Amino acid sequence: MATKAVTDASFQSDVLEADKPVLVDFWADWCGPCKMIAPALEEISDELEGKVEIVKMDIMENPDVPGQMGVQSIPFLALFSGGKVVAHQMGAAPKNALKNWLESNL
């Protein structure tokens, strides 16, 4: 299951109203570390299918939600559950570290 893109317009329904936890990867095309963690997030998405949905938000195309959340640097990962941020992490990390962080917050 590939990670899907969310937009400012779809954020409410795709993330805040989701019936399971959603990890949002705030990224941009020019961000090297963002591109570095993308394959790991795809793999984690497959491995944790059914437990969490992983989505991506391009901050250049969708400035509203990252602005409201105060996203200052990317990559920025925010885990939402029940419409609220329950955990967040800045910066790139190896796949096992990302997966351990995510699983410990689910």
Cα(25)–Cα(22) distance, rounded to whole angstroms? 10
- Among residues 15, 31, 52, 74, the one annotated as catalytic is 31
Kindly give, in sequence order, each residue whose CB lies less than 8 Å from that of residue 59, ignoring residues fewer than 6 positions away: 26, 27, 28, 66, 71, 74
DSSP string, 47-80: HTTTT-EEEEEETTT--HHHHHHT--SSSEEEEE
| Active-site position among 15, 23, 34, 59 | 34
31 catalytic residue (yes or no): yes
Residues identified as active-site: 31, 34
